[in-house]
Amino acid sequence: MFTGFIPTRWLAITVIAIATLVIVPLFAPTYYVYILALIFVTALLAMSLNFVLGYGGIYQFHHAVFYGVGAYTAAIIITRFKQDAWLAFLIGPFVAALTGLIIGWFCVRLTRLYFGMLQISLGSLIWIVVLRWYNFTGGDNGISDIPIPPALKSETSAYYFALAIVAICVSVLYLIVKSPFGATLQAIRDNAARCEAIGIDVRRHQLIAIVIAAFFGGVAGVLFVALERSVFPGMLFWSFSLELFIMCLLGGWFTFAGPMIGAAAIISLSRFAGRNEYWTTLLGVILILLIFFLPEGVMGFVQARLNPLKEEHVTR
């Protein structure tokens, strides 16, 4: 199905990568299996952001709110309403998509800068509600010891569950990017005024893109619950959205696979270097270095070298 969309060399690399990831739990220590699963979840979240940022030109500065909404929805359904975990996992992404629809409906009426500012405001409003509503969300304590299905109790089973869901979601995202809708979205990114002049409903396409991105962000949130069995308000905080933004820039925000590389780099750095009082400073340094020395990101740099005659995309 994908041979008509993916160049042969990239298809071969993808197959080899997936085959390698499938056998990793057979020989790797449990902690590294957990880190890999966390990278899968974060990579899906970063790719959902890149769908609207890199392909849609939509400055979604508070994308983490959809991640948190999906996770908290699943956690609350399981712990407060005592419903089946699989049902909660299914509902979580749709509530995140609904949140994206509501926030997007207001934001798409504004220009890029004001869009980002309003989204940060609305996302921060949701965050403060989660932080202060102790009786329902657990407040700053979050929700821990969330019961999950027995099939996901072990680290290995949670790893394979995350790998399978992420692989499916990434495949669907790729098909959307390569679809007529994806092509239209990229045209809007490049010149929204011209698209509007030829009859394209720019706002509608942007709103649909936001809802799609919010849905997959919610899927990532649900996977986090399956992996960590807890949720906390920091999942919705604006600083995590900044980390996602840096992941997209680091990997290459005009490339499809770039955010995967960015997520792997940032998660590995945060786990092995530690999140301390210098973490935000380190992120700032990474961002500065990217702007000056690698503005296209890792995958953008690689693709430019593999396709030297290809016209470079000019960022706006």
First to last CA, the chain: 34
pLDDT one-digit tens code per residue, 77-125: 999 999 999 999 999 999 999 999 999 999 998 877 788 889 999 999 9
The pLDDT value recorded for residue 5 is 59
Number of alpha carbons in the 13 Å side-chain half-sphere of residue 201: 5
Q: Is 8 exposed, middle or buried (0-12, 13-18, 19+ CB in 10 A)?
A: exposed
286-297 mean pLDDT: 86
Q: Which residues contact 290 (CB under 8 A, 6 or more apart)?
A: 246, 249, 250, 297
The pLDDT value recorded for residue 181 is 97
The pLDDT value recorded for residue 312 is 47
Residue 7 pLDDT greater than 80, yes or no: no
Q: Is 184 exposed, middle or buried (0-12, 13-18, 19+ CB in 10 A)?
A: middle
The pLDDT value recorded for residue 112 is 73
Residue 299 confidence class, pLDDT cut points 50, 70, 90: confident
The pLDDT value recorded for residue 1 is 45
CA 303 → CA 116, 184, 187, 239, distances in Å?
Answer: 29, 22, 21, 30
- Give the mean pLDDT of the chain: 90
pTM listed for this prediction = 0.92
What domains are defined for the chain? Answer: 8-306 (1.10.3470)
Assess contact for 247 and 42: CB atoms under 8 A: yes
Separation CA 191–CA 57 (nearest Å) = 10
Q: In which residue are the tokens 């706006």 written?
A: 316
Least confident range from 9-13, 35-39, 96-100: namely: 9-13
Residue 273 pLDDT greater than 90, yes or no: no
Interior/surface letters 17-35, b for 16+ CB within 10 angstroms, e for the rest: eeeebeeebeeeeeeebbb
Q: Which residue has the higher pLDDT, 212 or 116?
A: 212
Residue 3 pLDDT greater than 80, yes or no: no
Residue 315 pLDDT greater than 90, yes or no: no
Residue 49 pLDDT greater than 70, yes or no: yes
What is the Rg, in whole angstroms, of the alpha carbon atoms belonging to the chain? 19
The pLDDT value recorded for residue 203 is 94
Residue 180 pLDDT greater than 90, yes or no: yes
CA-based torsion, 236, 239, 242, 246: positive or negative:
negative
Q: Report DSSP letters for 129-167, one per residue.
A: HHHH-HHHH-GGG-B-S----GGG-SHHHHHHHHHHHHH
Q: Which residue has the higher pLDDT, 305 or 47?
A: 47
For 143, phi then psi, to 5°, come to -130, 125
Question: Quick one: which of 47, 85, 88, 50 has its CA closest to 69?
Answer: 88
The pLDDT value recorded for residue 311 is 46
Query: What percentage of the chain reaches a pLDDT higher than 70?
Result: 94
Residue 291 pLDDT greater than 80, yes or no: yes
The pLDDT value recorded for residue 304 is 75
276-297 mean pLDDT: 85
Least confident range from 36-40, 284-288, 305-309: namely: 305-309
Least confident range from 76-80, 224-228, 270-274: namely: 270-274
Q: Which residue has the higher pLDDT, 291 or 102?
A: 102
Q: Which residue has the higher pLDDT, 42 or 311?
A: 42
| List of long-range contacts for 30-33, beta carbons under 8 Å, 24+ apart | 30/155, 33/155, 33/156, 33/159
